[in-house]
Amino acid sequence: MKTLIIHHNDCLRHDPGPRHPERPERVSAVLKAVGGIAGTEKLPAPRATAEQLQRAHPAEYLQRLQELEPAREAGGERVALDPDTWLSAGSLDAALRGSGAACFAVDQVYAGQARNAFCVTRPPGHHAEASTPMGFCLFNHVAVAARHAQAAHGARRVAILDFDVHHGNGTQAIFEQSPDVLYVSSHQAPLYPGTGNAAEAGCGNILNLPLAPGSGGREFRDAWYRQGLPALERFAPDLVLVSAGFDAHLRDPLAQLELQEDDYGWITAEIRALAEAACGGRLVSVLEGGYDLEALGASAAAHVRALTA
Ligand SMILES: [Zn+2]
């Protein structure tokens, strides 16, 4: 069975403006780096349906963004939702493909049509709260996918693992009262968005693993080996979702962790092995951050090679 690479060119249409780090070239770099890896198959991402989206975001939220979205493409018009987060013509189509890719990937692994999947979409999602866009994010794709797995496939327990260098405040906020979802995040602290303290535990379903600036592969692997991976194993999930950000890389300009490509290969192989033991290998990964194009491509390739191994 194959590892699906799920993408849509609508994800290139979201334009947060010149010199913004979350740029369309990110997905192009990832697609180029993972293209041709044996055992993969590329499929187009559908748009998320209103029903899928509304399991994580109220209908009024989508409606508000639709009213704000500029109508004209390539006109340079943009609306600031916060100092980092912008809406251009095409932004909502891009974000809907991101959530749709994650739901489609869940359908494919549940149908036994794929071994696992990596969604190469943008904008990212893990900072988006139910009714608040922030941190480059409009819709929380892993949250939509987790609720979709529960509603459409009867998943009782969904684990979300997040190794983006930033804490996924949106994912934590959406699930902090949901014991049927486990959220584990390793991230640099202090750093944007300021959440993710180890004391934030939700209803016992949140595990935050803050890492000091300057931490590298040794500290990262130690945190996951001692705490994150055992928590995943104890939770015995029916599905594993991964918020795969690659901005903890040494070369990344937005943070000060010092991971290298093989650290991403290692964590992916560990997560894949636990998913295979717990839930038949059902694993769906969604691209989050990663802002140095060379490091992003090499790290994503290590991630996909470990998914196919
Ligand atoms: Zn990030």
CA of 166 from ligand 1 middle (Å) equals: 4
Does the pLDDT at position 270 exceed 70? yes
Read off the pLDDT of each residue in 227-243 and give the average, rounded to a whole number: 98
Does the pLDDT at position 254 exceed 80? yes
Record the tokens describing residue 54, joined without a space.
């509304």
CA of 136 from ligand 1 middle (Å) equals: 9
At 255-266, the pLDDT tens digits run 999 999 999 999
β-pairing, 85-88 vs 116-119, is unpaired
Residues 6+ apart with CB under 8 A from 127: 134, 135, 136, 137, 166, 168, 169, 170, 193
**Average of per-residue pLDDT values in the chain:** 97
74/144 Cα distance (integer angstroms):
29
CA of 146 from ligand 1 middle (Å) equals: 20
Instruction: Identify whether the C-beta of residue 167 lies closer than 8 Å to the C-beta of residue 208.
Output: yes
CA of 82 from ligand 1 middle (Å) equals: 16
Read off the pLDDT of each residue in 89-100 and give the average, rounded to a whole number: 98
Q: For residue 32, what pLDDT band results from cuts at 50, 70 and 90?
A: very high
pLDDT of residue 104: 99
Read off the pLDDT of each residue in 48-70 and give the average, rounded to a whole number: 97
pLDDT of residue 71: 85
Tell me which of 57, 127, 148, 303 is the catalytic residue: 127
Neighbours of ion ligand 1 (CB under 5 A): 164, 166, 245, 247, 289
Query: Could you tell me which of 166, 176, 52, 174 has the C-alpha nearest to residue 103?
Result: 52
pLDDT of residue 75: 63
Read off the pLDDT of each residue in 83-89 and give the average, rounded to a whole number: 96
Does the pLDDT at position 34 exceed 90? yes
Instruction: Identify whether the C-beta of residue 16 lies closer than 8 Å to the C-beta of residue 86.
Output: yes
Residue 7 annotated to the active site: no
Instruction: Identify whether the C-beta of residue 65 lies closer than 8 Å to the C-beta of residue 92.
Output: yes
H helix count then E strand count, the chain? 10, 10
Half-sphere exposure (Cβ direction) of 213: Cα atoms closer than 13 Å: 8
84/115 Cα distance (integer angstroms):
36
104/101 Cα distance (integer angstroms):
5
Query: Could you tell me which of 222, 217, 210, 297 has the C-alpha nearest to residue 250?
Result: 217
Does the pLDDT at position 114 exceed 80? yes
Instruction: Identify whether the C-beta of residue 21 lies closer than 8 Å to the C-beta of residue 12.
Output: no
Q: For residue 73, what pLDDT band results from cuts at 50, 70 and 90?
A: low
3-class secondary structure, 45: coil
231/216 Cα distance (integer angstroms):
22
pTM of the model: 0.98
204/233 Cα distance (integer angstroms):
15
CA of 247 from ligand 1 middle (Å) equals: 6
